[in-house]
Structure 1
Amino acid sequence: MRVLGIDPGLTRCGVGIVDVRRDRTATLVHVGVVRSPVDASVAERLAIIAAGIRVVLEEHRPEVVAVERVFAQQNRSTVMGTAQAAGVALLLAAEAGLPTATHTPSEVKAAITGYGSADKLQVQTMVARVLRLEELPRPADAADALALALCHAWRGAPAEAAADAALTPAQRAWAEAEKRTRNRGALAR
């Protein structure tokens, strides 16, 4: 399964794609960060993030998208920007006909490190170990995106099944047609 993990943010939006086999072994496909300038308007920043995510979706053709679930923070402007970036990511996945899931930071940390309150370094270290990377993925937003993708691949099957079950027959047929079109495009390359 190819999973795109997105750690949403207005300044830095982490994106990470992994291929995960049935035996839970994983391979790094892509990792990066979409950055937007802090002095740009929110609309411009969201457009930059959307463009960056679109490129990743088109180039790497994930099968599912996992986005960090926004949680309440004390800094309202930070939470608003994170929520807006998450909304953009979910919208783009829906437009591409991809199933989506959200996972809380503690769910991701528990899946990757075994401890829901792990720090950034622990997450980076375990992501590097799982993906057999020589260096820790940096910045932390990139590592978090990879952790989201791994978490979803390891824990997300029920969420995908529930999402698929919620589709009407017409929506399911449309999603299957979109997937066939994407697969034909991938074969033509």
Structure 2
Amino acid sequence: MGTHEREREKCVTSRRQAMRTIAISGLAAAVPLGAAALGDETSPDAELIRLGAEFDRLYSEWLPLWRRWSDFESVTRTEALAFAGKATSVWERYCQVSNANGCAEATAANDAASDKVTEVAGRIRQLPARGIHGLYVKARVVLFESFATGSHDSVADEDMDWEVLCYVQFLREIASLAGEARV
């Protein structure tokens, strides 16, 4: 059994389980080397594969920051809206709460990490895919750029909106054709 198969065995309990719950974070986290494991430097998509691995790494670093920000932002917004019509505006109250509860810092960290992911996504978008591995890299970027993270990250298939589920299923088909072990 090769290293790639051993990594897959450690990361995914069953193919059916992975197919039910996969999201881009699962794609990025299940195999640490990400798209780089798909090919070598002679591949016509070598640069896309390299950028895909960088995208996966940055995405997996950004995702916990996004989750932290999302939690803070929800609490902050709820508290600010409770003060609607009071002495301060909702926005002023939001800023006060955000500065007091750590939401402002979480926002800054989220934005900085998101900017890095977005920069690599832009570089990926500019390169043409020459094969299925490159197309798979580009398809993961489309998921990141087209759908809100909360619509697919750690969301079971039955809980996804229809258009998100359709795209995630399409992404799974590309992964299967590309021979991705993590799906």
Q: Which has the larger radius of gyration?
A: 2
Shared fold by TM > 0.5?
no
TM-score of the pair, normalised by structure 2: 0.28
Question: Which of the pair is proportionally richer in helix?
Answer: 2
